[in-house]
Amino acid sequence: MSSEHDAGSGFSMELSQDLREMRDWIHEFAETVIRPAGSEWDEREETPWPILEQASKIGLYSLDFFAQQWLEPSGLGIPVAFEELFWGDAGIALSLVGTGLAAVAVSANGTPEQMGEWLPLMFGDADDVKLGAFGVSEPDAGSDVAAIRTRAAYHEASDEWVLNGAKSWVTNGGIANVHVIVASVDPALGSRGQATFIVPPGTPGLSQGQKIRKHGIRASHTAEVVLDDVRVPGRCLVGGKERFDLRLARIREGGSAGEQAAMKTFEATRPSVAAMAVGVARAAYEYARDYSVSRVQFGRPIGQTQAIAFMLADMGTAVDAARLLTWRAAWMARQRKPFDHAEGSMSKLVAGETAVRVTERAIQILGGNGYSRDYPVERWHRDAKIFTIFEGTSEIQRMIIGRAATGLDVR
C-alpha cells in the first residue's frame, strides 16, 4: 500500500509533530526541575509554590496551556503532558494539575461567560500564581456521591445562593483562589438534585478545615473545606439557573435529567487520571530496568537473571497496555464518542492498578535500596496508591464496567 493510502486510512499510532515537541518540552521540565525536587517536597508535605511559579513563567502552569491541550484534536494532549509530569514526581505534578479538575468542572458544564470570568482566576499569572479546587466528597459521601449533605438555598430577593456544609479530601482545599463546590439544591432528588457552584476568591464563610497528612502525593495539599453561610451571586451556579430550573422541572415531571454534573466531570477526567498513573508506573519501570543492568550480584548484572528480566518484561508490557487504554479513552472523549463499554473507567482501573504493581515490583528489583528513602521508588510506590482510590475507586470502576458489560444495575 502506498504511504498516501496509509495516511488516508484514518488510523495512526504516531503522535503529531506538535505533540512530540510538547512532550519533549514537558519531559525536560520534569527531568530537570520536578524530579530533583520530589524528595524535598514529599518530606515538607507542602504545595511547592516555587515550582508552580517556575512552571507559570514558562507557560506550563497556565490556562492557555491546559486549554490548548484539552482542545488538541487527537485528544492526546493532556495524556501525553500528564504522563511526563507524573514521570517527574506525582506529588509535585498533582500540585501543577490539581487546578485542572476545578477548571474542567466549570468548562464541562459552564457558560462561556463563566469560563471567561473564573478560569483565569484559578491560574493567576507568573507574578501571582493561583489555584483552583473542586469539592464533591464529604465525610459521609465518598463513592456514594448522591449522599452529599452540603445544601444550596436560593434567595430570590438578593439573587444569591447560600451554601452550608463541609467537604472532605479537597485537593487545594482552602488554599485555592476559586473553589468549585457541588451541593444539593433538592435533596429528595439525590444526585439529580445537585448543582455545582463557583465560590469567588475571598468569599466569607469558606474556610479550610483540617489538612490531611497522607501516605503519598504529599506535595499536593489535601484538606477539609468548611462552608458556613457562604453567599455567592446567582451567576455562580455553573451552567446558569435557567438551565438548572428546566432540568429540575423535567426530573420532577418524571423525565430524564441527563448526566449528573459531578459525574460528567469525573468521566471526562478519568483518562487524564489514568495518564498520571502511567507516568508513575513508567518512572518506576525505567528506574528498575536501569538498576538491573548496573547492579551486579554473583558476578553478573541482576537483570541477566530470568527472575528479574521477566519481572521487567511484565512491567514494561503492563505500562504500554495501560497507556494504550488511556490513549483510546482520551481519543474517544475528544471525538465525542460515547464510552459504551466504560472505556474511561477501563483506562483508570488498569492504569491505577498497574502503577501500584509496577512500583511494588520496582522496590523488589532494587532490594534493600528500594526500601530506602535514598532511592525514589519507595516514594513512587506510596504515590501510586492514590490512583486506585481517588476519582472513583477501583471497585467503583469495576462496577461501572460491569454495568456496561451486563446491562444490569450492578451495585
Ligand X SMILES: Cc1cc2nc3c(=O)[nH]c(=O)nc-3n(C[C@H](O)[C@H](O)[C@H](O)COP(=O)(O)OP(=O)(O)OC[C@H]3O[C@@H](n4cnc5c(N)ncnc54)[C@H](O)[C@@H]3O)c2cc1C
Binding status of residue 137 toward ligand X by CB under 6 A: yes
| Residue 191 cell numbers, joined | 444526585
- Smaller CB separation from ligand X, 142 or 352: 142
Q: Is 134 in the site for ligand X (CB under 6 A)?
A: yes
Rule CB under 6 A: say whether 136 interacts with ligand X: yes
Cα dihedral 107, 108, 114, 116, rounded to 10, equals: 20
Q: Identify which range of 16-24, 67-75, 166-174, 349-357 contacts ligand X by CB under 6 A.
A: 166-174
Q: How many CB atoms lie within 10 A of CB 201?
A: 13
Q: What is the rounded CA–CA span in Å between residue 96 and residue 125?
A: 13
Q: Which of residues 170-229 bind ligand X (CB under 6 A)?
A: 170-171, 214, 217, 222
Work out whether the CA dihedral 44, 49, 55, 57 comes out positive or negative: negative
Cα–Cα dist 58/25, whole Å: 10
- The burial of 66, by beta-carbon neighbours within 10 Å (0-12 exposed, 13-18 middle, 19 or more buried), is given as buried
Q: Which of 169, 285, 291, 380 binds ligand X (CB under 6 A)?
A: 169
Query: Of the listed pieces 19-27, 68-76, 128-136, 194-202, which binds ligand X according to CB under 6 A?
Result: 128-136
- Dist CA 316 CA 326 (whole Å): 15
33: how many CB neighbours lie within 10 A of its CB?
19
Query: According to the binding rule CB under 6 A, does residue 123 interact with ligand X?
Result: no
> In DSSP terms, which residues pair with 138 in a beta bridge?
141
Locate cell 473507567: which residue?
345
> Applying CB under 6 A, which of residues 15, 189, 309, 389 lies at the interface with ligand X?
389
Interface with ligand X: number of residues (CB under 6 A) = 22
**Is residue 261 a contact residue for ligand X (CB under 6 A)?**
no
**For residue 139, what is its C-alpha cell?**
465525610
Q: Is 267 assigned a catalytic role?
A: no
In the three-class reduction of DSSP (H, G, I as helix; E, B as strand; rest coil), residue 229 is classed as strand
Helix axis angle, 261-294 to 90-97, nearest 10°: 150
Q: Which is nearer to ligand X, 218 or 289 (CB)?
A: 218
Task: State in angstroms the smallest separation of the CB of 384 from ligand X.
Answer: 12
Q: Which of 48, 75, 142, 271 binds ligand X (CB under 6 A)?
A: 142
Q: Pick the closer one to ligand X by CB: 136 or 312.
A: 136
Taking the complex as a whole, the smallest distance from the CB of residue 23 to ligand X amounts, in Å, to 26
- Choose the stretch contacting ligand X; rule: CB under 6 A; options: 70-78, 136-144, 272-280, 309-317: 136-144
Q: Using alpha carbons, select from 78, 131, 133 the residue that is nearest to residue 279.
A: 78
By the rule CB under 6 A, 319 interacts with ligand X:
no
Q: Which of 261, 276, 308, 396 binds ligand X (CB under 6 A)?
A: 396
Non-local CB neighbours of 60 within 8 Å, separated by 6+ positions: 26, 29, 96
Can you tell me which residue has the cell 429528595?
188
Instruction: Lay out the site mask for ligand X across 45-84 (x = CB under 6 A, - = otherwise).
Output: ----------------------------------------
In whole angstroms, what is the distance from residue 86 CA to residue 31 CA?
Answer: 10
- Contact residue for ligand X among 79, 88, 110, 135 (CB under 6 A): 135
Kindly list the residues in this chain that would bind ligand X in the complex (CB under 6 A): 101, 134-137, 142-143, 169-171, 214, 217, 222, 386, 389-391, 393, 395-396, 399, 411
Q: List, by residue number, the catalytic residues.
A: 391
